[in-house]
Amino acid sequence: MADDLTIVAENACFGGRHLRVKHRAATVACDMTFAVYLPPAAAVEGARVPVLYWLSGLTCTDENFMQKAGALRLAAELGLAIVAPDTSPRGPDVPGDPDGAWDFGHGAGFYVDATEEPYATHYRMHDYVVHELPAVVEANFPVSDKRSVAGHSMGGHGALVCALRNPGRYRSVSAFAPIVNPSAVPWGEKAFSRYLGPDRSTWRAWDACALLEMATERLPLLVDQGEADSFLGKQLQPDALRTAAEAAGHPLTLRMQPGYDHSYFFIATFIDDHLRHAAAALEA
């Protein structure tokens, strides 16, 4: 392992290993912490296992998914590594929301590459997630360059955008309750206006509904959305994704789940389907 990586914590789990790793990230100009689960198959000499990159939602860190989603038992069986980055750059030199709000700044990087000051130096989470982090993981752990991406809420937006902007980079993509049309909802408007500036035409490059119009790859999209989600109508608007996918002829499985909310209880209920969705594509 490279000298600039520090193991913050390590735990045995379902015959594999869960690690939290700290490193200096050039793209976001600060220290970052990510979690990686290595299944038992990764311990076989010469093995390199495929990876699912999980992008979490607002206020989360690398820890939420690994501890709450209940994903590691099946990941161990499938021989699938999982990597979970933080949701934003952090530290005393990293600007957050000037009013201390929870939906912007620290914990709310929105997986874009900011162009506006004072955020442009640090808030380059797209570049970090798509390029720097996989390079670090693939150079230091027994994993391959076979990648899938998935996420929740803000991270669901991130997963869709990462896949749609980078054809050929991922074998599959899926999301729980994603922000599918951030250019047209309050969370996205707040974040994009500050990270990307007032010109809404530039926002389209970070909006899944807009990106579907120009997509050159047809990775099937798997999306689960709880019908009891308190953010459903105002922030998430899955029907906009359905409309955009139908217009573009893009394959989409959108499953509306009665009674389920925005929490990790929802994610834990359906995570196995998303792991199998990724594993099937990674094995192909």
Residues taking part in catalysis: 153, 229, 262
Q: What is the DSSP pairing of strand 221-226 with strand 173-176?
A: parallel
Burial 100-121 (b: 16+ CB within 10 A, else e): eeebbbbbbbbbbbbeeeebee
Tens-digit pLDDT profile for the chain (284 aa)?
Answer: 676 899 999 999 999 999 999 999 999 999 999 999 999 999 999 999 999 999 999 999 999 999 999 999 999 999 999 999 999 999 999 999 999 999 999 999 999 999 999 999 999 999 999 999 999 999 999 999 999 999 999 999 999 999 999 999 999 999 999 999 999 999 999 999 999 999 999 999 999 999 999 999 999 999 999 999 999 999 999 999 999 999 999 999 999 999 999 999 999 999 999 999 999 999 97
The predicted pLDDT at position 4 comes to: 85
The predicted pLDDT at position 284 comes to: 76
Place of tokens 């912007």: 104
Q: Which domains are assigned to the chain?
A: 5-283 (3.40.50.1820)
DSSP, collapsed to helix, strand or coil, labels residue 148 as strand
The predicted pLDDT at position 157 comes to: 98
The predicted pLDDT at position 1 comes to: 67
